[in-house]
């Protein structure tokens, strides 16, 4: 069944109207289709109604353009002049495609074998023998070490050693370590290996500098783990050796360095001597008693005065009134203050105390 372009466009507009809520339009397709040369996206037909180009799969459809009130917009100036529109309307509909004529199959082609053309013989020439290059002759060395070429010997002039050392420097270091561990050689004498000379002889360097001991090497192989609690690990065997060094604490791995560091910390944290108290803070009086009645206070003062001590009367404002304080003093000497305290207590005031 064949569907015309106009019917297909009308069906498309009907589908759009249903999908958009029922757009009402009296004209769903243009009064005449624009020519194929028309490239605009909007077309106004001869009735003045506006259409928008749409399509799918190469098929172009013209869909009515509606206003905000969902009404088809008409009454506009046509896109084409009236003469062109009339020509489009009068043009006959294009004829359908011509019928397809199937031609008979051609006769099969039989291919005859063709004998190959004879090839001309190919001659190959033998490769030329490689040229013999005589090895370069290096001039014999003049001076320096035997068996070396002239280029190397130019850096070996003077008093140089042309063979292995008679005594390896490491042997001398090991002999020094043996002397240190045994307690010998503490005089600072050092054996200079053959082929070497002492750079300084003024004692500026330690003769055993860089010479380690077995204990020192073992301590340098120790590290602390990051676990909690931390453990002391021997890096050479990766074993826990905490029990072998019970006195070491984190982060030290050397007992001597730990003692020196802790000694310095203790010296820095030594508290300064306590300053002597001010004169106003030193006790100078003996408080015999406190009375709410003035007569009782005067009687107690008379007893202390009879004991041979200087006395004073003080007043303190209490919650229930004035409190009278009987004092003996003042005494500048701590010994005299202690004697006065004993005398006051012997006079019958057992609760007497010293005060400033």
Query: What pLDDT, in 10s, does the model give residues 207-244?
Result: 667 777 777 777 678 899 999 999 999 988 899 999 98
Region class of 57: left (phi > 0), else alpha (psi between -120 and 50), else beta: left
pLDDT higher than 70, residue 290: yes
Q: Is the peptide bond before 229 cis (omega within 30 degrees of 0)?
A: yes
8 or 286: which leads in pLDDT: 286
Partner residues linked to 328 by β-bridges: 286, 311
| Maximum average pLDDT range among 82-96, 117-131, 189-203, 231-245 | 231-245
CATH of 282-355, one of 3.40.1030.10, 2.40.430.10, 3.40.640.10, 3.30.70.1070: 3.30.70.1070
What pLDDT shows up at residue 301?
Answer: 93
Which pLDDT score is estimated for 25? Answer: 47
Distance in angstroms (rounded) separating the CA atoms of residues 282 and 85 = 128
The pLDDT assigned to 295 comes to: 92
CATH 3.30.70.1070 residue ranges for the chain = 282-355
- Residue 5: pLDDT above 60? no
In this predicted model, which residue has the larger pLDDT, 168 or 24? 168
Cis amide prior to 145 (ω within 30 degrees): no
Preceding amide of 251 cis, omega within 30 = yes
List, as own/partner pairs, every contact residues 250-254 make where C-beta atoms lie below 8 angstroms and the sequence separation is at least 24, other chains included. 250/224, 251/224, 253/219, 253/220, 253/222, 253/223, 253/224, 254/216, 254/219, 254/220
How many CB atoms neighbour CB 88 within 10 A?
18
The distance from CA 314 to its chain's CA centroid, rounded to whole angstroms, is 73
Residue-level pLDDT at 143: 61
- Residue 100 is predicted with a pLDDT of 63
Res 65: pLDDT:
92
Name the nearest CA neighbour of 355 among 248, 282, 278, 260.
282
Question: With bands split at pLDDT 50, 70 and 90, how would you rate the model's confidence at 200?
Answer: confident
pLDDT at site 345? 93
List pLDDT tens digits, range 309-340. Answer: 999 998 888 888 899 999 998 998 899 999 99
| pLDDT-above-90 percentage for the chain | 24
Give the CA dihedral 293, 297, 303, 305, nearest 10 degrees: -160
């Amino acid at each position: 069944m064949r569907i015309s372009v106009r019917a297909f466009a009308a069906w498309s507009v009907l589908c759009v109207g249903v999908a958009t809520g029922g757009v009402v339009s009296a004209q769903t397709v243009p009064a005449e289709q624009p020519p194929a040369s028309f490239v605009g996206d909007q077309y106004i037909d001869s009735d003045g109604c506006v259409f928008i180009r749409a399509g799918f799969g190469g098929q172009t459809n013209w869909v009515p353009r509606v206003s905000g009130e969902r009404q088809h917009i008409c009454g506009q100036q046509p896109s084409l002049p009236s003469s062109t529109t009339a020509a489009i309307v009068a043009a006959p509909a294009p004829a359908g495609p011509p019928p397809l004529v199937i031609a008979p199959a051609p006769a099969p082609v039989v291919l005859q074998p063709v004998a190959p053309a004879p090839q001309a013989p190919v001659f190959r020439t033998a490769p030329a023998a490689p040229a013999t290059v005589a090895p370069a002759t290096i001039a014999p060395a003049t001076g320096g070490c035997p068996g070396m070429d002239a280029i190397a010997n130019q850096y070996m002039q003077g008093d140089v050693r042309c063979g292995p050392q008679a005594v390896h420097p490491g042997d001398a270091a090991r002999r020094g370590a043996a002397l240190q561990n045994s307690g010998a050689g503490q005089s600072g004498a050092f054996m200079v290996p053959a082929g070497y000379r002492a750079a300084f002889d003024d004692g500026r360097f330690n003769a055993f500098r860089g010479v380690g001991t077995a204990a020192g090497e073992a301590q340098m192989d120790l590290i602390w783990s990051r676990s909690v609690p931390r453990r002391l690990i021997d890096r050479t065997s990766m074993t826990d050796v905490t029990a072998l060094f019970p006195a070491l604490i984190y982060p030290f791995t050397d007992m001597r360095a730990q003692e020196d560091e802790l000694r310095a910390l203790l010296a820095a944290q030594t508290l300064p001597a306590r300053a002597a108290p001010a004169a106003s803070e030193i006790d100078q009086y003996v408080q015999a008693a406190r009375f709410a009645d003035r007569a009782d206070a005067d009687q107690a003062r008379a007893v202390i005065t009879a004991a041979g001590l200087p006395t004073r009367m003080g007043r303190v404002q209490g919650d229930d009134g004035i409190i009278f304080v009987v004092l003996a003093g003042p005494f500048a000497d701590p010994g005299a203050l202690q004697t006065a305290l004993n005398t006051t207590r012997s006079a019958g005031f057992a609760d007497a105390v010293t005060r400033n």
